[in-house]
Amino acid sequence: GQNIDQPTEMTATEGAIVQINCTYQTSGFNGLFWYQQHAGEAPTFLSYNVLDGLEEKGRFSSFLSRSKGYSYLLLKELQMKDSASYLCAVMDSNYQLIWGAGTKLIIKP
């Protein structure tokens, strides 16, 4: 079967760095996506990885290892507004997104 695993909840301190992990087992792989979702709102696209390595976008970076079925989202210089759920999704061989359940990130002052 297809499976995406990510931690249910994480807590971090304002100004610090946090890494949210995602492991996956899917039917084929065409890319891995990260979305941010604030409570009661729709997911918004953050980044995606197709090839192994690190993609950096300002305070956010995403890493992919296809051989290990593993990705992480790294958030630096955390701000209170970063409190949200972070969704990992893998695009399978049919170009459909398989979604993880999301990681709720709580930022404390």
Partner 1 sequence: DVKVTQSSRYLVKRTGEKVFLECVQDMDHENMFWYRQDPGLGLRLIYFSYDVKMKEKGDIPEGYSVSREKKERFSLILESASTNQTSMYLCASRSPRGEVQPQHFGDGTRLSIL
Q: Is 105 in the site for partner 1 (CB under 8 A)?
A: no
Distance CA 46, CA 32 (A): 11
Q: Contacts with partner 1: how many residues (CB under 8 A)?
A: 23
CA atoms of 56 and 26, how far apart (whole Å): 25
Least distance from partner 1 to the Cβ atom of residue 30, Å: 6
Which position among 25, 38, 45, 65 is part of the footprint of partner 1 (CB under 8 A)?
Answer: 45
51 in contact with partner 1 (CB under 8 A):
no
Instruction: Please name which of 23, 8, 5 lies closest in space to residue 105, comparing C-alpha atoms.
Output: 8
Of the pair 84, 89, the CB lying nearest partner 1 is at 89
Distance from the Cα of residue 16 to its chain's centroid: 17
Q: Does residue 79 belong to the site contacting partner 1 (CB under 8 A)?
A: no
- DSSP-derived secondary structure letter, 7: -
Under rule CB under 8 A, residue 99 binds partner 1: yes
Tokens describing residue 54? 């690190």
5-34 residues in contact with partner 1 (CB under 8 A) are: 8, 30-31, 33
Cross-sheet strand order for the sheet of 60-65? 3-5, 18-25, 70-75, 60-65, 53-57
Q: Of these, 41, 52, 56, 77, which contacts partner 1 (CB under 8 A)?
A: 41
